[in-house]
Amino acid sequence: MAKKVRTVRSLRRVVLATLGILTLATGSFADVEIARRGKAAAKIVLGADASETEKWAADELAFFLHLSTGCAIPVSSNSTPYENRLLVGEGAARLAGSGFDAKSLQPEEIFVQTEGHDLILAGGSPRGTLYAVYTFLEVVVGCRWWTQATWNVPSKPSLAIGPISIHYAPPLEYREPFWFVAFDPFWAARNKANGTRAGGDDRRGGRHVYEGFVHTFYPLIPPDRYFASHPEWFSEIDGKRTFENAQLCLTNEEMRQELVKNLKIKLRDNPSATIASVSQNDCYNNCTCPRCRAVDEEEGSPSGSLLRFVNAVAADIEAEFPEITIDTLAYQYTRKPPLLARPRPNVIIRLCSIECSFSRPLDDPRNKAFLDDLEGWSKIADRLFIWDYTTDFSNYIQPHPNYGMLGPNIRLFVKNKVRGIFEQGAYQSWGSEMAELRAWMLAKLLWNPALDAGRLRQEFLNGYYGPAAPQVSEYLNLLENAVSAAGDHLGCFSPTDAQFLSLETMLEAWDILKRAEAKTTKNNEFARRLRRVQMPVAYVALVRWDGFQKEAQERGLKWPWPKTRQEFLGWFIEAARSEGVTMISEGQTLDDWAAKGGKPR
């Protein structure tokens, strides 16, 4: 072997830091040489019966190896012997003679292993082979996909690998970083997200497909179609039936039969679905008729009547749709688990953390009520999902320092037998506060909760902000310390007058980011990314302009922003529009906010 070939012989440190739960082979295997001084030394082999996803995995492997080594690694379904082979997919893996059996693997389990001069890249259906390829590209080649358009692909014109054995099955079957920046199917596949929006298209391994996603009571029983003739199908509140800001009467058998009929029609029209939502509307006012109230009193929670109803629906559809699981919410008034009812095997409970404080871990005493419910559901639900919240819906661009809670919370969920996590973020627009960082970190942690979230964060900052990374890190630490010292609740609807958003903190933040700006003057792209980090501080200054100016004058503090609010507002709006921002909050467009002079509704 040529002396300058770069060989990865001791992968333990790199692999464990990147994936966490892996094993490393220690036998005397020969190296698999991939490239030698910019010339191909291996070929990529597919099985004759390779699936479309396996073919895409081979294409991705060839593409990124080409970017890294500078040479084209040929892709072939020809199984003739070759000195070094990269065997992609189940059919190709069998060529190594190692007895590889994909049927023994869990769904999405990855298998990355050297056998002599062969490297096997395969996995459990439907996405395991694809994820094995991306894992190899991350761990060995060093690729990172920060955003859909921003990658890191190290230059390695000579590349060879020593013995590797990576066998890993993700603990979460459903992984959804629900951020606008994560919805690109290429990014989602490369970062192993498989949710409804943050997931690959068919060729890139597909995604979980819902029939109805959430709050489906009225889509299944529309009031404009049924209330006039069947008011008894809807909530009874204070002795009166209503559909306004209300729910369904879950003990009404006739209504349930109609809902099942309508659901079956929808499922027949959506053959790719594997999950169907039968879930409460996004409001309170559950039915308090005598029958519903009696069930809820017996069960100790309104989740009792809901779960009994959902169980019955799940039983009714099972014969025709055995592959469908019914998804329902444990949300607000149904968050507390029932005393008696238990979810059927084909029912998913999706527990929501909307009331929690996200400046503290979810097992902090401040969040005890939620933790009690999480532990309660984990004891009775075979398939427990989580709907978690990672943004400020009232102010998408406002600082929201929950960065250090992402890892501990995901680990808490997995510890409590959670099997799917939906991390709701700013899903409507580009430009939300630290969106790129959160989406990438969440994708990594959902795939492997054992990863060190602090190390992930610093890795992203270094890769995405380059020379400004130390100051961006300092800025994020400042915000985390400020919210901790202030004791703010930091919910997902935090106000603009939160204590941690003080003038003193915003002045220090602006100073840090201006120092960072000085380090990006020679690189327009880093400068643009940093401007997105500056926008949240500017947003707070604009919203609290009068109070901040008065306080600065009274305390004799130097004012770092323009003299007039209008000038600064113009800078902010131009920056926001250039970054593709369309929503300033979940319910207000940027244009509306700008028309109102930069004031929230």
**pLDDT 10s digits, 60-73:** 999 999 999 999 99
Q: Summarize pLDDT for 335-389 with one digit per residue, the tens.
A: 999 999 999 999 999 999 999 999 999 999 999 999 999 999 999 999 999 999 9
Residue 19 has pLDDT above 70, yes or no: no
Residues 480 and 537 occupy one common structural domain: yes
Mean pLDDT of all residues in 537-558: 97
Residue 426 has pLDDT above 80, yes or no: yes
Residues 259 and 163 occupy one common structural domain: no
* Cα dihedral 517, 523, 526, 530 in deg (nearest 10): 20
Mean pLDDT of all residues in 476-480: 98
User: In the chain, how many domains are there?
Assistant: 3
Going by the DSSP 8-state scheme, the letter that residue 459 receives in this structure is H
Q: Which residues pair with 423 in a beta bridge?
A: 177, 388
Residues 216 and 163 occupy one common structural domain: no
Residues 24 and 149 occupy one common structural domain: yes
Q: Summarize pLDDT for 76-128 with one digit per residue, the tens.
A: 987 666 789 999 999 999 988 777 888 899 999 999 999 999 999 999 989 99
| Structure tokens that stand for 208 in this block | 């979980």
| Structure tokens that stand for 143 in this block | 């690729």
Q: Summarize pLDDT for 431-449 with one digit per residue, the tens.
A: 999 999 999 999 999 999 9
Secondary structure E strands in 408-558? 418-424
Nearest to 98 by CA among 119, 71, 84, 68: 119
- Specify whether the CB–CB gap between 283 and 302 falls below 8 A: no
Residue 455 has pLDDT above 90, yes or no: yes
Residues 218 and 91 occupy one common structural domain: no
Number of H helices, E strands in the chain: 20, 23
Distance CA 7, CA 139 (A): 13
User: pLDDT-based confidence at 30, cuts 50/70/90?
Assistant: low
The three-state (H, E, C) secondary structure of 33-87, written as one string: EEEECCEECCEEEECCCCCHHHHHHHHHHHHHHHHHHCCCCCEECCCCCCCCEEE
Residues 239 and 157 occupy one common structural domain: no
Distance CA 350, CA 591 (A): 35
Residues 75 and 164 occupy one common structural domain: yes
Residues 223 and 289 occupy one common structural domain: yes
Is 334 domain-assigned?
no
What per-residue string of b and e applies to 568-593 under the rule 16 or more CB within 10 Å gives b? Answer: bbebbbebbeebebebbbbebebeeb
Mean pLDDT of all residues in 479-491: 97
- Specify whether the CB–CB gap between 260 and 211 falls below 8 A: no
Residues 6+ apart with CB under 8 A from 426: 179, 180, 391, 396, 432, 433, 435, 583
Distance CA 105, CA 83 (A): 28
Domain-ending residue, one of 324, 349, 370? 324
- Specify whether the CB–CB gap between 536 and 433 falls below 8 A: yes
The length of the chain is: 601
Strands 159-161 and 151-152: unpaired
Residue 119: its H or E element: strand 118-123
Distance CA 181, CA 226 (A): 39
Distance CA 472, CA 462 (A): 9
Residue 484 pLDDT: 97
Give Cα 409 to chain centroid, integer Å: 13
Q: Summarize pLDDT for 123-168 with one digit per residue, the tens.
A: 998 999 999 999 999 999 999 999 999 999 999 999 999 999 999 9
Nearest to 388 by CA among 420, 435, 416, 348: 420
Is 564 domain-assigned?
yes
Residue 79 pLDDT: 67
Q: Summarize pLDDT for 46-62 with one digit per residue, the tens.
A: 999 999 999 999 999 99
Residue 246 has pLDDT above 80, yes or no: yes
User: pLDDT-based confidence at 333, cuts 50/70/90?
Assistant: very high
Nearest to 387 by CA among 358, 348, 338, 423: 423
Is 402 domain-assigned?
no
Coil, strand, or helix at residue 204?
coil
DSSP 136-170: HIIIII--EESSSS-EE----SSEEE---EEEE--
Is 409 domain-assigned?
no
Residues 146 and 223 occupy one common structural domain: no
Q: Which residues pair with 123 in a beta bridge?
A: 110
Domain-ending residue, one of 113, 141, 169? 169
Residue 24 has pLDDT above 80, yes or no: no
Residue 29 has pLDDT above 90, yes or no: no
Range of the domain at 558: 464-595
Secondary structure E strands in 227-337? 236-237, 240-241, 275-277, 325-330
Distance CA 28, CA 18 (A): 24
Is 459 domain-assigned?
no
Question: Residue ranges of the alpha helices (H) in 288-329?
Answer: 290-299, 303-317
Here the CATH number for the domain that contains residue 131 is: 3.30.379.10
Domain-ending residue, one of 298, 324, 350? 324
Residue 270 pLDDT: 97
Residues 6+ apart with CB under 8 A from 37: 2, 4, 157, 158
Mean pLDDT of all residues in 408-425: 98
Q: Summarize pLDDT for 184-242 with one digit per residue, the tens.
A: 999 999 999 999 999 988 888 899 999 999 999 999 999 999 999 999 999 999 999 99
Considering only 10-19, 161-170, 282-291, which range has the smallest mean pLDDT? Answer: 10-19
Residues 293 and 148 occupy one common structural domain: no
Query: What share of the chain in percent tops pLDDT 90?
Result: 90
Is 401 domain-assigned?
no
- What count of other Cβ atoms lies within 10 Å of the Cβ of residue 439? 30
- Specify whether the CB–CB gap between 302 and 333 falls below 8 A: yes
Residues 260 and 314 occupy one common structural domain: yes
Nearest to 372 by CA among 341, 337, 348: 337
- Specify whether the CB–CB gap between 132 and 123 falls below 8 A: yes
Is 515 domain-assigned?
yes
Residue 101 pLDDT: 85
Residues 149 and 227 occupy one common structural domain: no
- Specify whether the CB–CB gap between 31 and 14 falls below 8 A: no
Is 506 domain-assigned?
yes
- Specify whether the CB–CB gap between 472 and 516 falls below 8 A: yes
Between 88 and 18, name the one with better pLDDT.
88
- Across the beta sheet with 75-76, the strand order is 75-76, 43-46, 85-88, 118-123, 110-115, 165-168
Please state, rounded to an integer, the average pLDDT across all residues of the chain.
93
pTM higher than 0.85, yes or no? yes
